[in-house]
Amino acid sequence: MRLASSAITIAVLVLGFAAIAQQVGPGSDQPPSSAPNPPPSTPPSANQPQVDESALRYFASQGDTRRVNAEIARLRALYPNWTPPSDLSQLSSGPAVAVDPIIERLWNLYKEDRIAEVRAAIAERQSTDPNWKPPEELVTALDTVEARRRLTNASDSSQWRTVLTVATENPNLLTCVNVDVLWRVAEAFAKTDQTSRSRDVYTYLLTNCGNPGERLATLQKALTILPENQVADLLQFERKTGETPDNFDSIREELARRRVERASNDDKTTATAEDLAVVERMIRNTNEPGPVLVLAWYNYHHGNPARGLELFKTALDRNGGNKAAEGYAMSLRALERIAEAEAFAYDWRDKAPENMKVYLDVATALLTQDPPPRLETRVVSRIVPVVSSQRFPDGAQALGWYSYNTSQFQTAREWFRLALEWRPEDEPSAYGLALSTQRLNDRAGFNAVVAQWRDRSERIADLADGATPARPGQPRAQVVQPAQTVPQAPMRSVPVQAEAPRVVVERSAVEVEPTMRVATAATGSTSGRRNCIMTRSADGMAPDAALTLGWCLMDANRPMEAVNAFDQAIRRGSSRIREEAAYGKSLAYLRKNLTSEAAVAAAQAPQTSQRRVELSASILGQRALAAYRDGRYVETILALSERARIVPEQNDLMLIRGWSYYKLGRYKDAERIFRAVQRTGFSEEASVGLNAVLEASIPNRQ
């Protein structure tokens, strides 16, 4: 019932517009108020009261020159483009008619906007003289003013249907004299889900109404209501010629700014050079921080944190506040100026929740840098109370690793416990706790962690089984650390993808390291490590010395030089040494992410079956990651499947598999994988994936 009647309302209203548009007709270039005036005897028709001249005509007919002039002045003030009708003098020259004095009083009250009193005087007069009728023009004028008031009040109170009803019942309101009414009607259409009707109103206005200020304001209103492409369509009505040409440049700029703003939060959307130039110009032409921030975020999210940093600095100088500070800290972090980022973010941490989040992330990143940094006590001791008061589990875990790496095992144990208290499912913290308790010979503590976690965490189970005992001076923590993906501000899924390769490289190192160390110990001299830093070239070395040098360089994390050393060992060495060296060379390439080189190297000498499996698994893992990085998801899954045939798939690679399915739109498979990961304790990353799947597959379920 309601729907039907409102549909009728709209139909009527649109017809009204059409009628009005026709009335104004081809002379639409002129301001409507200078349209030909109706003959004096005709009461203003519903379609023509552009400027209400009824009072003026009345005074003219009375020959009241003083009032005529006063009214002309008043109307001129209201409507600058208006010109008085030329036929006024004819009116006053007519035969003098005896005039009812109340009429003049009514018009005067009307002019002073005392509408209720006009109505009251009419009612009073009619109560003594039932046959008396007020002038038709006055009644129309009163109806119009009342309708405008009701429409305005209804609009101020968001009573949109009333707005549309009043407009429909009073089509004479819908003219260029009442631009504000037209704007409100357009808004009412939008608020009742009829934006195409809103666009019709704006189009009507821009086609017919002449005041350049109002025309520009119309587009500004449209910007708050219409989709941007529709606003852009309205720009075609810009009048470039005539006495008062339009200048809609500010609207174009705003549209460009919005496009850049949208792209600024989405690294997959690029803004055009023209749009970027517009924003650059806005930055130069104002002292506002707004456009600076837009461009700053754009640069930050499009691989240019250095430019982002500059712009955030400018925004800060322009009182850009919390958002500018947030971006500044994030840019510093992206530029790996983490210590500066921490110091800066610290000062802003209490300004807004976002600033606190950035601070916690940056502080966590600072603590978990690889290699572990030596931090000033001052810095650590200001991080501690913030992490505590915010109960931030990642921060607690990071403080745990930091303490562990600086041999403060008791402190480490406490931080890992706190992290677990704040996030009971945090496997890395449980692992840290296991290591710390082990180092402290805290058997009860160690057993408690193991009892709770051995079914959920393979590495904790391994610790308990003594498979990989942690060694003094070689804290596993350093190796594991990068697995703690530090959440980055805008998108939770980014870290998983971006960090995963690193995780895998280091994990594969974990897998092979014990063997490697045994090999080093068996073949190398203990002085090798000290000396290799100074050695320039392996050329001419004895094979076993070259092999030792290779491992030493690997230890020093100089894999490309290690490759040279291993090459020397392969060229000259015995089969045992060749095997060892080929293995080392493969590892070196793997560390540099050179997967195919690693595969070639592995083939240079026969390997033991155990090593063959290790190397193949690592190579296939790397290959999968490289494919994933390049967006070749089918190949990613093929490589992972091949790898899964020889070794069990670890969680981080399962995540990669899940994301590949996701990218291929195979949401069911992705969901299955993420659920599997979730069950093994990597709940957070898996949840990110599950959420993404859920979000992506919602439209299909509806």
Partner 1 sequence: MRIFAKRGLLLPCLLAGLLSIASSMSSAQNLSVQPLNVAGTLSSGEWEAYRSKFIEDNGRVVDNANGNISHSEGQGYGLLLALAANDRASFEKIWNFVFTELLIRDDGLIAWKWDPGAKPRVSDRNNATDGDILIAYALAKAGTAWNEPRYTTAAQKLAASIGKHTFGRNGGIVFLLPGAEGFNAGDRPDGPVINISYWVFEAFPVLAGLAPQYEWNRVWKEGVTLLQQATSGRVRLPADWLSIQSRMQTKPADGFPPEFGYNSLRIPLYLLRAGMTDLEWLRALKLRWSAENEGVAVVNVVTGNVRERLTDQGYAILSAALACALDGTPVPDTLKTFDPQLYYPSTLYLMTKSWLGEKHPQCV
In terms of CB distance, is 145 or 448 closer to partner 1?
Answer: 145
Minimum distance, C-beta of residue 202 to partner 1, in the bound complex (Å): 24
Minimum distance, C-beta of residue 169 to partner 1, in the bound complex (Å): 12
Q: Taking a C-beta distance cutoff of 8 angstroms, is the pair 619, 595 a contact?
A: yes
In terms of CB distance, is 119 or 612 closer to partner 1?
Answer: 119
Q: Counting beta carbons within 10 angstroms of the beta carbon of residue 162, is it exposed (0 to 12), middle (13 to 18) or buried (19 or more)?
A: middle
Q: Taking a C-beta distance cutoff of 8 angstroms, is the pair 211, 179 a contact?
A: yes
Beta strand segments in 396-509, E: none
Minimum distance, C-beta of residue 174 to partner 1, in the bound complex (Å): 18
In terms of CB distance, is 15 or 116 closer to partner 1?
Answer: 116
Minimum distance, C-beta of residue 118 to partner 1, in the bound complex (Å): 9
Q: Taking a C-beta distance cutoff of 8 angstroms, is the pair 480, 428 a contact?
A: yes
Q: Taking a C-beta distance cutoff of 8 angstroms, is the pair 223, 251 a contact?
A: yes
Q: Could you tell me the CA-to-CA distances from 231 to 90, 191, 204, 221 in Å, in that order?
A: 47, 17, 14, 10
Minimum distance, C-beta of residue 126 to partner 1, in the bound complex (Å): 8
Q: What DSSP string describes 229-251?
A: HHHHHHGGG---SSSS----HHH
In terms of CB distance, is 125 or 262 closer to partner 1?
Answer: 125
In terms of CB distance, is 129 or 317 closer to partner 1?
Answer: 129
Helices vs. strands in the chain: H and E counts, helices first: 37, 0
Minimum distance, C-beta of residue 155 to partner 1, in the bound complex (Å): 9
In terms of CB distance, is 123 or 534 closer to partner 1?
Answer: 123
Residue 469 φ/ψ region, left for φ over 0, alpha for ψ in the -120 to 50 degree band, beta for the rest: beta
Minimum distance, C-beta of residue 213 to partner 1, in the bound complex (Å): 24
What distance in Å separates the CA atoms of residue 499 and residue 509, rounded to the nearest whole number? 16
In terms of CB distance, is 46 or 164 closer to partner 1?
Answer: 164
In terms of CB distance, is 117 or 458 closer to partner 1?
Answer: 117
Across 564-578, b (16+ Cβ under 10 Å) vs e yields bbbbbbbebbeeebb
Minimum distance, C-beta of residue 184 to partner 1, in the bound complex (Å): 12
In terms of CB distance, is 166 or 279 closer to partner 1?
Answer: 166
What distance in Å separates the CA atoms of residue 63 and residue 518, rounded to the nearest whole number? 118
In terms of CB distance, is 124 or 465 closer to partner 1?
Answer: 124
In terms of CB distance, is 109 or 352 closer to partner 1?
Answer: 109
What distance in Å separates the CA atoms of residue 496 and residue 689, rounded to the nearest whole number? 9
What distance in Å separates the CA atoms of residue 563 and residue 598, rounded to the nearest whole number? 10
Q: Single out the residue of 354, 297, 362 nearest to residue 322, CA to CA.
A: 354
In terms of CB distance, is 145 or 638 closer to partner 1?
Answer: 145
Residue 85 phi/psi, 5-degree rounding, is: -60, 150
Minimum distance, C-beta of residue 366 to partner 1, in the bound complex (Å): 50
Say which residue the tokens 């976690």 belong to: 453
Question: Using the 8-state DSSP alphabet, how is residue 472 labeled?
Answer: T
Minimum distance, C-beta of residue 115 to partner 1, in the bound complex (Å): 7
Minimum distance, C-beta of residue 124 to partner 1, in the bound complex (Å): 4
What distance in Å separates the CA atoms of residue 295 and residue 278, rounded to the nearest whole number? 10
In terms of CB distance, is 163 or 205 closer to partner 1?
Answer: 163
What distance in Å separates the CA atoms of residue 559 and residue 49, rounded to the nearest whole number? 86
Residues 6+ apart with CB under 8 A from 233: 199
Neighbours of 2 (CB within 10 A): 7
In terms of CB distance, is 19 or 116 closer to partner 1?
Answer: 116
In SS3 terms, 75-100 reads as HHHHCCCCCCCCCHHHHHHCCCCCCC
Minimum distance, C-beta of residue 42 to partner 1, in the bound complex (Å): 25
Minimum distance, C-beta of residue 279 to partner 1, in the bound complex (Å): 35
Minimum distance, C-beta of residue 197 to partner 1, in the bound complex (Å): 17
In terms of CB distance, is 149 or 530 closer to partner 1?
Answer: 149
Residues forming contacts to partner 1 in the complex (CB under 8 A) are: 114-117, 119-124, 126-127, 146, 149-150, 153-154, 156-162
What distance in Å separates the CA atoms of residue 213 and residue 176, rounded to the nearest whole number? 12
Q: Taking a C-beta distance cutoff of 8 angstroms, is the pair 319, 327 a contact?
A: no
Question: Using the 8-state DSSP alphabet, how is residue 176 labeled?
Answer: G
Q: Taking a C-beta distance cutoff of 8 angstroms, is the pair 320, 289 a contact?
A: yes
Q: Taking a C-beta distance cutoff of 8 angstroms, is the pair 552, 564 a contact?
A: no
Minimum distance, C-beta of residue 165 to partner 1, in the bound complex (Å): 9
Minimum distance, C-beta of residue 102 to partner 1, in the bound complex (Å): 13
Q: What DSSP string describes 531-575?
A: HHTT----TT--HHHHHHHHHHHHHTT-HHHHHHHHHHHHHH--H
What's at 139, amino acid-wise? V
In terms of CB distance, is 121 or 343 closer to partner 1?
Answer: 121
The sign of the CA dihedral 450, 453, 459, 465 is positive
